Structure 1
């Protein structure tokens, strides 16, 4: 499969004219000159956009340099085993051409020597493997000949102040030795006699399963065309290019170039690409680019794309950007860009849906234990963890690269000055779990907005921490959840761990539930009149009772209806269940009395609810004698609603009961059958959309963060160098 880039006119000189005319100054926009300019513009073919050119680029035109490039920056170095594992990762992803050994180090022993032995054992023919060396380096040539690697990238330096300059004579001599190396390899692997060391593709499948991999290909890499003061018009440059384009360099099949210092701009890359393309036509030569980042900036990816727009076939680069000084263009982002531009061949050739996994594995091999920079495109933790809805990529995003395409896991993260409510809802969905995710959409948004407001109040008061940290965000959510559920003030006997259970028991299909405190005995008084004055005719009541370490209660989906006769009683039926929050079961537990017992009987102002014998009384009688409030072992109820009597029949007690068992086998949720409650609270259960939480309800603010940002961080590098959550 091969895509070539020929001039649409077929005339290289015409192509050069088109390129130069694009960057020439505009003609004056008046008179005959304007008319002539318009006529010329109509005649000139439109240059393809970057998107169009990337869409038609051949994704095979990549030499994977993951082995040598990551070695240029890792402080851990590479063992032979690490190198062979990187090689396997690249081949598994789909790379046919892989740079495996680069030798620039004289006669010293190198890890690459042992690696080449391992590679030959794994890939005996080593088709598609590349060796890199400098022009005129006899020691490197000897290592090449010993390695058996059948393709070469040969560096040529025009004016290397640090590395030394190459010469045309040494170039020709080196090419001759490389050609002889190719001939010898053909004989060693019993290739067809007519190859004679000439470039061809291996019909035998490699150990990786690929066929038609390159053999006997020589690419020349111009190391410093973009870094030095030598221009393409310099005599020594013209001399080398003329020599390489002659018939005597038959094994030459590609030209590479790079900007190692990272100080060339995009126009420099564009000009070099256009000029090299004219000298090395696409039908005869591949043209590959490698662009470095600079210490002060990084345009390496865009430069590579511009080079392809100007006629380059592809790139030579590592899979991940970590290399050299501050990084380089990388094939992971290049292939992602091709795919986002509509290049359908990418997914046919490469396992693009493993890109994130491959990148993270390669990073771990070269930088073991080191965190991946979170802002690293594609495989960094921030890449597909949305911080705001406007940044999201999905299958509908024009020119986007959805997370599924590269095997990324989509997520959400909180940046408190930016994140919108919809993204925060996603973050809380993943963090809190079913207690939050089962809420109705409007309730979720109300809670998320409460979290946003709370954080803004905290920041305004000078409290700074990593709000995206799971522990910190969960802590703030729990504060908001208490407010939203209606139990925010500290005296409430319903605590945060109880809320998920109560919410689950009280919600209805498509209706979330929350509580509104109507009565608290310690605040409003403990008489029957105090309770009724606060509860009134409210419907849907939850009674919460505390007796020492026991917390329990009852929900009644009705009202405390009093009789019109103040000396009588009135019974109201409705859904009713008991619950234990603590003290009687390992976790909060619901208890369901039989349908016939789901009723509440309330006495009038001067009345009493009496037992059958008339010797026991109360003011409120719940579930057929299962809970008495204002209880007395006489015909006159207690003046205090805190005087109680409670028991649960054995046959309706759920498994796991750990409380007090009566002699007859029945169970009690308090510490004894007759008891005095420490506090009784009555809440109204409210269902439906949750209104916005007023700021005052969120006070006092939660400030004891589980993982605060240390005060020293405000004046230290830690503020910008923290490990992400």
Structure 2
């Protein structure tokens, strides 16, 4: 290797280390949507009583910005549970500091007449102090709603109406503008998107948010769109992202967004979302803990992260979290091989106890070692792991291999099967004694 090649190699490693350090130092700005984003994609949703019980749990976890729900839905005269929830909070005098509701933009006609959206009127009547107001910028998004001149005319008027009519937290309301099709807009109509960004940069709002609402853009594209927006917006204006899991890029895209100038994200705590999932706040927090970010551990009760996120998803789905869901799934921290154990003293590992979980075990006949088999056996039997000696455990592994070679496909992870396997191993050890390795002829 030449000196020049070695320097290039070192530069590549230094770049990665720099990115990790930046992620470890940020304090992400988050708006939690566990009261809306997760129910939207669930089989059953949330009742009023469930929402009333969830809100204090979100505050206790550490969220300071919470969306109570969405008011810009279709058929606005047919109320949703979100309406009932906000009405109840208003009527019972619950403190709504830090609370938001999603609304749509009102429309300003060419003669200057402004017509607020029904969702804005509800925001006022329900006395929610802050809002995320949604707009569309791509040709598909705006179709049938408004054109670009109408959008440019209506945005300032809509923000002004909110400032004139919504009672904020001791002053003006906190306003975010969410570009629902933000990635589409940058990809399809960059010049028009730059114009709108420049317009937003001059409005009295706290920030903007952008979505990859179908989850189809690759991480480097999301990073580029964030960098483009950040180049136009003033540093004081927050920039948040919301990314769905359509193509499986979501968490990688969220990291790219943060590295390219995003201040944070909005989303639900669990994985469940409007599509098949999203870059959830729970996953983002876990991944920031993974890189050693102490700001999030100071603010949020990350030691409750795993149980809270899974409990909320179980509630929304009226069913279990998918077993193989990373971080929060049942199998995420079930060891099938001891070498897979994540350790607190190893770079980039996140042991389960760091987010409120524990290690468990599962048996995979092709790979499971003594640690995994012994651990699963102890779980099933209720006896301590040390009750099972290496000789019998090793025989269990031998028998799994022999039975699979013989064409038997057995789910040894099932309690009845692992106990039956143990029984066969005890008999085998007693009958043949120590077993030498089987070497093919």
What CA distance in whole angstroms lies between the structure 1 residues aligned with 2:189 and 2:35?
31
Deviations 1:648-680 (A, max 9, x none): xxxxxxxxxxxxxxxxxxxxxxxxxxxxxxxxx
Question: Is the 8 Å Cα contact of residues 168 and 174 (structure 2) preserved in structure 1?
Answer: no
1:381 aligns with 2:334: no
Please state which structure has a larger fraction of its residues in helix. Answer: 2
What CA distance in whole angstroms lies between the structure 1 residues aligned with 2:288 and 2:186?
33
Deviations 1:403-460 (A, max 9, x none): 1111102111111112122222222233334486235xxxx22222211111222222
Secondary structure of 1:100's counterpart equals strand
Please state which structure has a larger fraction of its residues in strand. Answer: 1
Question: Is the 8 Å Cα contact of residues 209 and 239 (structure 2) preserved in structure 1?
Answer: yes
Question: Quick one: which of 296, 310, 315 aligns to 1:360?
Answer: 310
Q: 1:694 to 1:87 in 2, by over 3 A?
A: same
Deviations 1:153-194 (A, max 9, x none): 111101252664551122222111111133x456xxxx4xxx
Question: Is the 8 Å Cα contact of residues 154 and 218 (structure 1) preserved in structure 2?
Answer: yes
Once the two structures are overlaid, the 10-residue window that deviates more, 133-142 or 321-330, is 133-142
Q: Which residue of 2 aligns with 1:155?
A: 134
Question: Quick one: which of 104, 107, 124 aligns to 2:94?
Answer: 124
What CA distance in whole angstroms lies between the structure 1 residues aligned with 2:237 and 2:17?
21
What CA distance in whole angstroms lies between the structure 2 residues aligned with 1:278 and 1:435?
59
Q: Which residue of 1 aligns with 2:351?
A: 402
Question: Is the 8 Å Cα contact of residues 50 and 306 (structure 1) preserved in structure 2?
Answer: no
Question: Is the 8 Å Cα contact of residues 33 and 69 (structure 2) preserved in structure 1?
Answer: no
Deviations 1:495-531 (A, max 9, x none): xxxxxxxxxxxxxxxxxxxxx9xxxxxxxxxxxxxxx
Question: Is the 8 Å Cα contact of residues 150 and 217 (structure 1) preserved in structure 2?
Answer: yes
Question: Quick one: which of 176, 179, 185 aligns to 2:160?
Answer: 176
Secondary structure of 2:294's counterpart equals coil
Q: Which residue of 2 aligns with 1:242?
A: 198
Alignment of 1:211-250 (within 5 A): 216-228=173-185, 231=188, 233-234=190-191, 236-246=192-202, 249-250=203-204
Q: Which residue of 1 aligns with 2:112?
A: none
Question: Quick one: which of 455, 466, 486 aligns to 2:411?
Answer: 466
Question: Is the 8 Å Cα contact of residues 194 and 232 (structure 2) preserved in structure 1?
Answer: no
Alpha-carbon shift at residue 229 of structure 1 (Å): 7.1
Q: 1:100 to 1:464 in 2, by over 3 A?
A: same
Q: Which residue of 1 aligns with 2:241?
A: 289
Secondary structure of 1:133's counterpart equals strand
What CA distance in whole angstroms lies between the structure 2 residues aligned with 1:292 and 1:425?
39
Q: 1:473 to 1:218 in 2, by over 3 A?
A: same
Question: Is the 8 Å Cα contact of residues 222 and 257 (structure 2) preserved in structure 1?
Answer: yes
What CA distance in whole angstroms lies between the structure 2 residues aligned with 1:438 and 1:347?
38
Alpha-carbon shift at residue 376 of structure 1 (Å): 1.4
Q: 1:379 to 1:435 in 2, by over 3 A?
A: closer
What CA distance in whole angstroms lies between the structure 2 residues aligned with 1:279 and 1:397?
39
Question: Is the 8 Å Cα contact of residues 138 and 189 (structure 2) preserved in structure 1?
Answer: no
1:456 aligns with 2:401: yes
Secondary structure of 2:140's counterpart equals coil
TM-score by length of 2: 0.87
What CA distance in whole angstroms lies between the structure 2 residues aligned with 1:128 and 1:163?
30
- Larger radius of gyration between Structure 1 and Structure 2: 1
Question: Is the 8 Å Cα contact of residues 446 and 693 (structure 1) preserved in structure 2?
Answer: no
Q: 1:74 to 1:433 in 2, by over 3 A?
A: closer
Q: 1:350 to 1:138 in 2, by over 3 A?
A: same
What CA distance in whole angstroms lies between the structure 1 residues aligned with 2:70 and 2:220?
30
Q: Which residue of 2 aligns with 1:303?
A: 253
Give the number of the structure with larger relative contact order, counting CA–CA contacts within 8 Å between residues 6 or more apart: 2
Q: 1:133 to 1:436 in 2, by over 3 A?
A: closer
Q: Which residue of 1 aligns with 2:111?
A: none
Q: 1:148 to 1:57 in 2, by over 3 A?
A: same
Q: 1:451 to 1:304 in 2, by over 3 A?
A: same
Alpha-carbon shift at residue 480 of structure 1 (Å): 0.6
1:335 aligns with 2:285: yes
Secondary structure of 2:206's counterpart equals strand
Secondary structure of 1:96's counterpart equals coil
Secondary structure of 2:242's counterpart equals strand
Q: Which residue of 1 aligns with 2:82?
A: 112
Alpha-carbon shift at residue 78 of structure 1 (Å): 2.2
What CA distance in whole angstroms lies between the structure 2 residues aligned with 1:436 and 1:185?
58
- Equivalent pairs counted in the alignment come to 413
Question: Is the 8 Å Cα contact of residues 394 and 403 (structure 1) preserved in structure 2?
Answer: no
1:418 aligns with 2:367: yes
Question: Is the 8 Å Cα contact of residues 35 and 51 (structure 2) preserved in structure 1?
Answer: yes
Alignment root-mean-square deviation, CA:
2.5
Alpha-carbon shift at residue 231 of structure 1 (Å): 4.3
Question: Is the 8 Å Cα contact of residues 51 and 341 (structure 1) preserved in structure 2?
Answer: yes
Q: Which residue of 2 aligns with 1:24?
A: none
Q: Which residue of 1 aligns with 2:224?
A: 271
Question: Quick one: which of 420, 425, 438 aligns to 1:475?
Answer: 420
Q: 1:430 to 1:77 in 2, by over 3 A?
A: closer
Q: 1:477 to 1:276 in 2, by over 3 A?
A: same
Question: Is the 8 Å Cα contact of residues 31 and 65 (structure 2) preserved in structure 1?
Answer: yes
What CA distance in whole angstroms lies between the structure 1 residues aligned with 2:79 and 2:270?
28
Question: Quick one: which of 301, 306, 326 aligns to 1:351?
Answer: 301
Alpha-carbon shift at residue 121 of structure 1 (Å): 5.0
Stretches of structure 2 lacking an aligned partner (at least 5 in a row): 107-115
Question: Is the 8 Å Cα contact of residues 450 and 693 (structure 1) preserved in structure 2?
Answer: no
Stretches of structure 1 lacking an aligned partner (at least 5 in a row): 1-33, 198-215, 489-515, 517-689, 696-725
Q: 1:449 to 1:127 in 2, by over 3 A?
A: same
Question: Quick one: which of 414, 435, 438 aligns to 1:692?
Answer: 435
What CA distance in whole angstroms lies between the structure 1 residues aligned with 2:17 and 2:233?
20
Alpha-carbon shift at residue 96 of structure 1 (Å): 0.7
Q: Which residue of 2 aligns with 1:97?
A: 65
